[in-house]
Amino acid sequence: MYVHFFKRLFDVIIAIIALIILCIPFIIIAILIKLESKGPVMFKQNRVGINGKTFKIYKFRSMYITAPHDASTNSLEHADDMITKIGKGLRKSSIDELPQFINVLKGEMSVIGPRPVICAETELIMMRHKNGTETVLPGLTGLAQVHGRDHVPNLQKAQYDGIYAASVSFMTDFKLVIRTMWYVFLHIGIHEGKHKPENVQLTKKSNVLTVENTKSE
């Protein structure tokens, strides 16, 4: 019931509220992007969504238009040189991801779910397909994002995503929203190489995902 009705209702309400609140900030960000470099304000990129279907994800453009369009930042050499000054700030704060509330409103994404993968990341796509990750909508943030984001190896990332897909619940989503807000506040895991993945144990109790930190003191 939660997955098919209340989760979608939650997504729509949050997306509408967020887009209304962010309307003025979006205009200011758009002006700053246009003043610094040529190119569109929005960056659109094909991503793999639910049931393996592709869709165009929305982000504020944070790189020069000469940067490769369909590659992940981590796969690029000298990626820092391709990121604009305003783009570095947008990425550090994750503000560049906020236009994805449009994708949430359109039903292509959820607030919480596995992050949508670039089509070129075939290894991760295959891993996700095998563990059932594609059965849920991709999200603005998810389990892998609060445990290292891009610093998490593909195998571990796919494990996080698969366990979430099999354990969707209101409490799981609520906990991930709180943890995401905390991580963004601390600027953790945002392409800076300062945060290492946590050593965690994933368990499932009564259809509620539990994340336990097993790091020794």
pLDDT tens sequence across 80-119: 888 999 999 999 888 999 999 999 999 999 999 999 999 9
| pTM of this structure | 0.80
Domain ranges of the chain: 2-213
Find the mean pLDDT for residues 173-182.
89
Q: Roughly how many angstroms between the first and final C-alpha of the chain, as a whole number? A: 41
Backbone angles phi and psi of 112, in degrees to 5: -115, 130
CA angle 53, 97, 35 (to 5 degrees): 120
pLDDT on residue 137: 96
In this predicted structure, the answer to whether residue 200 has a pLDDT above a threshold of 70 is no
Query: Three-state SS for 178?
Result: helix
DSSP letter string over 114-146? PPPEETT-HHHHHHHHHHTGGGS--EEE-TTGG
Which among 80, 89, 78, 102 has a CA at the least distance from the CA of 33?
Answer: 89
Write out the two tokens for 146: 């609060």
Tell me the pLDDT tens digit for each residue of 60-77.
999 999 887 777 776 677
pLDDT on residue 189: 46
Burial class of residue 85 in the structure, from the number of CB atoms within 10 Å of its CB (0-12 exposed, 13-18 middle, 19+ buried): exposed
Question: What is the rounded distance in angstroms from the CA atom of residue 205 to the CA atom of residue 45?
Answer: 37
For a pLDDT cut of 90, what percent of the chain falls above it? 58
Instruction: Point out which residues pair with 83 in neighbouring strands.
Output: 63
In this predicted structure, the answer to whether residue 145 has a pLDDT above a threshold of 80 is yes
Residue with the larger pLDDT of the pair 63 and 199: 63
